[in-house]
Structure 1
Amino acid sequence: MSDIKLYDTRAFTGKFMPSEELHAFFRGDVGKFFIMRVEDMYQFVTRAVPASRSTITSCLYITEGEASIKIGSELYTIHADEMLFVPAGQVFSFREGEINKGYICGFQSDFLVGKLLKNNLLNEFDFLKIWGNPMIQPDRQSAEFIRRLLTRLLIDYSQNGLQNLDLLQSYLLTLLCEVNRIYRPASGSGPVTGVTITNRFRELLFKWIRTKKRVTEYASLLNITPNHLNKTVKAVTGKSPTRWIDETVLLEAKVLLSQTNLTVSEIALEVGLDDPSYFTRLFKKYEHQTPSEFRRMIEKS
């Protein structure tokens, strides 16, 4: 590892952290919980973050300016007093150079498990699900409540780390419940049954994308016909199941291109494509560049 610099990050981690490890920290590879001001984060993260997968759920709340994050295949932009959630396991990326202020926090799924809390608690919040609407737009009163909770979390975490675990868990749960109260599902056309089928399809896609690439396979898992799945998903999302499958394969590939040293052929196999040349053609069809060109672009950023 070349020229690793040490930054004094004890204010939010309790220890000195090398720059490469700090990037891992923001990807969610270390720690059960963290919170810090967005403007403080930028002094350590000075370049765009390419397609990455986090092991934690993260939340970004903006108090000034705006922020854009690509979550899955969708780009979201939030402004003052708006927030975005990135569920654990979801692929995300964001560009450099944005000027904004706010809070960013992240937590492992088991962080909320304690003497007062149950194991499956996160399942009760649709905004933390792979198909949920990650963008929250609170009214003025709710925004004030959310700011106070984030400020309280930041103060206690900065001063005491994870020592007051019960207190941090309680404030975080209150924050999630407040968000859940104002949550609005993403707009989508079609009947409720169609939305339910589409959401279930996206969940299955997230789980099985490396081994299942055909619409017929997902239709079978849902106990419906491929034609019904095609019509339903297209009506609700505007994209066919095949398009969803292709985009999800490419998201997996982008993560591997940016976070591993695997060759393009090895990455093709990892995402379930036996033919590297087909993988390259598929990648270029959607990204207008080859996987190798995409990796070089990341390395230069």
Structure 2
Amino acid sequence: MEDIPKMGLPELYKETGIKENKNHPGFLIFKAENVSNLIKSGNPLRNLNYGVVFFIEGDGEIHVDFNSYKTSANSVYFCSPGQVVTAKGEFTEGFGVLFQKDFLLKPGAQQWIQSLPIFSGFLSSPMVEMVEKDKFLFHALLREMELEYHSDVILKYDALEALLTLMLVKLSRLYEKSKGDKISVDAKHILALESLINKQFKSNRSVADYASQMFMTPQHLNRLTKKNTGRSVSELINERLIVEVKRYLTYTEMSSEEIAHYFSFYDNSYFTKTFKKAVGETPKAFRKRQKELLRVEG
């Protein structure tokens, strides 16, 4: 069964020639001029990392699943594991920081990363703009991070952990400020729900089960999601499921029947009916249209 080509740190280490530290793996920083050929190829890749990319100059476009974002000077792009990403254009100046969830070794690090709104598909846009004072702050952080990364000094990775944590905190505050209000307690519940859905959506579509895992009633959880996202829990689960199905229809040669089985639909007719209700066309028609678009763009 063919899957979507993956872009993880091992592939990037191999391509860049940077030696991976086996005792403290899962971190890579790079400049625009050294961007990986994997990324520059323009081919769709399933990202396996958390990432922050600072665009300083250049004219490019990033396709994240089925949305496109123009990169502007002094903008920041956030990526999360699982997304299918395509990059096009000239990225002449900027920095990228990629890391895996186990790079931060503090207790509860994974839950902390998933609680950040900058990595949420339910609450945030994947880009935010910097003003001049933000630019100087983050460029200083990036310079210090780059110096540590290419050094061979004592406690190097401890320093990188601390700098990355500070950067993510500052970026989350910048995101919050750009939205004009504070991240509410309700929104934190939505982030927790998103984390559960991302792990379980392939086989678990039960609102009651998600509510139970969050120590809530289904009614209360639905009220929270409606208030914060405008969608019910079922709609959020289905939205996540349909995005993944679209990825497989577009970027693999798996048959409709194979995809239906992979995502735990009991038969292909039910799969087709569910997909058409959500998207407005059958899986076959969607795949044909996407393949034609990719040929035109290529």
TM-score by length of structure 1 reads 0.68
Q: Which amino acid aligns with 1:270?
A: Y
Percent identical pairs in the alignment equals 23
In 2, the alpha carbon distance for the partners of 1:170 and 1:196 equals 23
How far does the alpha carbon of each residue in 1:90-111 deviate from its partner, in whole angstroms, 9 at most, with x for none?
4242352365531122112222
In structure 2, the CA distance between the partners of 1:127 and 1:13, relative to structure 1 (3 Å rule), is: farther
Partner of 1:37: 31
- 1:115-194 equivalences in 2 (<5 Å): 118-121=106-109, 123-124=111-112, 126-127=116-117, 129-130=119-120, 133=124, 134-154=126-146, 157=149, 164-184=156-176, 187=179, 192=184, 194=186
Corresponding position: 1:14 with 2:18: yes
In 2, the alpha carbon distance for the partners of 1:296 and 1:123 equals 37
The correspondence for 1:265, drawn from 253, 257, 260, is 257
- Post-superposition shift, 1:132? 5.8
Partner of 1:86: 79
Partner of 1:243: 235
- Post-superposition shift, 1:169? 3.5
- Is the Cα contact below 8 Å between 2:260 and 2:267 reproduced in 1? yes
Unpaired runs of at least 5, structure 2:
1-12
In structure 2, the CA distance between the partners of 1:234 and 1:178, relative to structure 1 (3 Å rule), is: closer
In structure 2, the CA distance between the partners of 1:137 and 1:46, relative to structure 1 (3 Å rule), is: closer
TM-score by length of structure 2 reads 0.68
Corresponding position: 1:63 with 2:56: yes
Q: Which amino acid aligns with 2:176?
A: R
Unpaired runs of at least 5, structure 1:
1-8, 16-24, 26-30
